[in-house]
Structure 1
Amino acid sequence: MLSRTVLALLLATAAPVLPALANAPPAAQAPHDGALVSTEWLEKNLASPKVRIVEVSVDPGVYERGHIPGASNVSWHTDLVETVTRDIVSPEKFAALAQRLGIDRDTTVVLYGDNNNWFAAWGAWVLAQYGLVDNVKLLDGGRKKWEAEKRPLDTRAPEVAASKFPVTQAASNLRARFGDVLAVAKKERDEQILDIRSPDEFNGKIIAPAGIQELAIRAGHIPGSVNVPWGKAVNADGTLKSPAELKKLYAEAGIDGSKPIITSCRIGERSSHSWFILTRVLGYNARNYDGSWTEYGNAVGVPITNVAGTVWGGK
């Protein structure tokens, strides 16, 4: 596999440059979209000192088998959450992680991963709560597109100079809590809940996708929520559909940005993908409910809607 130094030299000599700059890493360019970077853009900027690449995948060993050159590995279930309490990573633990990754406030952070960037989007949601918003991007198409295009992979973990990222309290305006969604379900708050699970999960025919552990007691959805499965927002190659297509998709379900939105799924990872689209691509006001159905579907004394009537009966 190519080292970052060799790769930088190859990229630097791919086009005419001034002799004094021949060995310098390429400067970061403005991505084609404020929220996304293309595979072409990222390959051109692999060696930029202002770009940090982070993989957040869920399948074991995928990073070690080969990753984008220069990418650091982050585990969503140990690095981005508290491992005992069900919560996002603490301010102190996040600061240590950002320092280890070499991330400063002005660093362009490109996140990518497997499973259509589900957990990379979760990472973007966590980073946003700690003040890293506009400079955090998703690689459009994630690992799927990068590998399909046979772009370079490396098996070595990069050596990264530690940053001095400060301990910062997490913002609360990007995260919905149980009480928030319950207030919407009871029509005490004028917000919209976007459930991005499959139709069978939403309607209550099943509790979880095939092969996934069922972590809720009941099946169904939060009353008043609308269903737009996350996959409808994605092209066959893993890239997101155009902003115009996305606006139309959500508008058909009554989501047009005129009201605050809460995204929800089973454990909050698929819904973070839709949260990213709504907030970063379309500019809507949205929060992610990471408790999602595993919290709401287990709560005592709350209303649910079960169209299928297959679990616990009734509606």
Structure 2
Amino acid sequence: MLMKERNSVILILFILTMFAFFVMLQPAEASDPASVITVEQLEPILGTPGLVIIDVRSPEEYGDGHIAGAINVQMAEYADQNNPIAVMAATPEQMEAMLGSKGVGNESRIVIYDDQGASATRLWWVLYMYGHPDVKILDGGIEKWQAAGKPMTTVAPLVQAAQYKIDRSRINKGAVASTEEVLAAVENKSALLVDVRSSDEFNGKILKQGAFRKGHIPGSIWLEWTKNQNPDRTFKSIPELKKMYEGEGITDCKKIIVYCQTGTRSSYTYFVLTQLLGYPDVQNYDASWIGWSKDESLPAQVGYSVLKIGSRFYTEGGSEREMDVIPYLKDGRAFVPVLYLASMLDIVSEDIKWDPAGKAVTLVKAVYAQPT
């Protein structure tokens, strides 16, 4: 009888040991829920001591209605106004003065929101870089709050100035990439470069105000920041995000540097990669395309297209398009449709000339002199 009981105890201990072992093998949850707060979670804690809600929309939008108790902070207030490159992160001294004047202390629990997402994550990124311990993004922002029928107010709260001090030893210098680090990634593939701007910006079809050249940093992967969002501007689920990034070859196995025009939209992708997917080595290139394009010595690539022989479909800047003729190989040479070549050269159909007698096609590329 004692032997049976002893064997039973041993069996139970073995089962418990194996259970603990398999639990240890399970991957940890990649997301950090402490960095995101939902509308349902925020409403019941409104007005609690130590909670600071920051609305980073325009003063006009804020004045038309905001979450009760929210203060208004403009992007210019957390940007370095003395830096020749637009919207670079404010210095520690500038952030200390701004936060203190807004009544934010070192122990404040901060919730940030806007109407699109990127302005909120930009302030989150600056605070994260400077080591503030408790900062959350309101998932879906003000639009989600309003859609849920939550109350709004036009009354701005009274703010009492506070003392704010950034511990220089806690500054996360690894959160920001320098131009030298980006150039190293171009030259020796030391990191994956991810451009989160629009397809037209990436391909050089448009030059957004503030930039000095068209195109993108050579070797960049294009994945627009809005692809992280659901239609209601909430974050996509972790499985969806993981599948999307891994499908583009963006994994946690390598250092990643994200950029956009000013480091604002890329802060959203930075937030997703670090806080939701748990990627360990991600940097935001603060100077981004404005800083890079300003330096003529740095390389730029215009256009990006991938086609496959035997397929009617090709990708341009990450978007799938269709050709009228399938490209093919003959005698070791690739034959592709003229319309495809014209598209890559930004030549419109009216400038494609066909000579039936000579059976020749001429592509006319208009070149305009730049003003001096």
TM-score by length of 2: 0.69
- Cα distance per residue 1:200-244 (max 9 Å; x no partner): 211222223xxxx2x223211111110111111100111000111
1:242 counterpart = 2:247: no
Q: Which has the higher helix share?
A: 2
> Which residue, out of 247, 250, 253, partners 1:255?
250
Paired residue for 2:146?
147
Kindly name which structure, 1 or 2, has the bigger radius of gyration based on alpha carbons.
2
For structure 2, which runs of at least 5 residues remain unmatched after alignment? 1-31, 304-343, 348-364, 367-372
- Could you tell me which amino acid in structure 1 is paired with residue 187 of structure 2? K
Asked whether the 8 Å contact 2:213–2:294 carries over to 1, the reply is yes
Asked whether the 8 Å contact 1:54–1:72 carries over to 2, the reply is yes
Paired residue for 2:297?
301
| Residues 50 and 119 of structure 1, relative CA distance in 2, 3 Å threshold | same
Paired residue for 2:227?
232
Q: What is the CA–CA distance in structure 2 between the aligned matches of 1:95 and 1:156, rounded to whole Å?
A: 26
- Could you tell me which amino acid in structure 1 is paired with residue 82 of structure 2? V
- Could you tell me which amino acid in structure 2 is paired with residue 121 of structure 1? T
Asked whether the 8 Å contact 1:91–1:168 carries over to 2, the reply is no
Give the superposition deviation at 1:162. Answer: 3.5
- Cα distance per residue 1:149-181 (max 9 Å; x no partner): 231111122124443321443442111121111
RMSD between aligned alpha carbons? 2.2
Q: Which moved more, 1:153-162 or 1:232-241?
A: 153-162
> Which residue, out of 53, 78, 81, partners 2:79?
81
| Structure with bigger RCO (C-alpha 8 Å, 6+ apart) | 1
- Cα distance per residue 1:24-54 (max 9 Å; x no partner): xxxxxxxx92221001111111111132101
- Could you tell me which amino acid in structure 1 is paired with residue 156 of structure 2? A
Q: What is the CA–CA distance in structure 1 between the aligned matches of 2:36 and 2:172, rounded to whole Å?
A: 23
SS of alignment partner, residue 217 of structure 1: coil
Q: What is the CA–CA distance in structure 2 between the aligned matches of 1:277 and 1:91, rounded to whole Å?
A: 24
Paired residue for 2:111?
110
> Which residue, out of 272, 285, 289, partners 1:277?
272
1:289 counterpart = 2:285: yes
Q: Which has the higher strand share?
A: 2
SS of alignment partner, residue 257 of structure 2: strand
- Cα distance per residue 1:239-277 (max 9 Å; x no partner): 000111111111111111111111111111111111111
Paired residue for 1:95?
96
SS of alignment partner, residue 117 of structure 2: helix
Q: What is the CA–CA distance in structure 2 between the aligned matches of 1:309 and 1:91, rounded to whole Å?
A: 46
For structure 1, which runs of at least 5 residues remain unmatched after alignment? 1-31
Asked whether the 8 Å contact 2:201–2:214 carries over to 1, the reply is yes
Q: Which moved more, 1:298-307 or 1:269-278?
A: 298-307
Give the superposition deviation at 1:89. Answer: 1.5
Paired residue for 1:55?
55
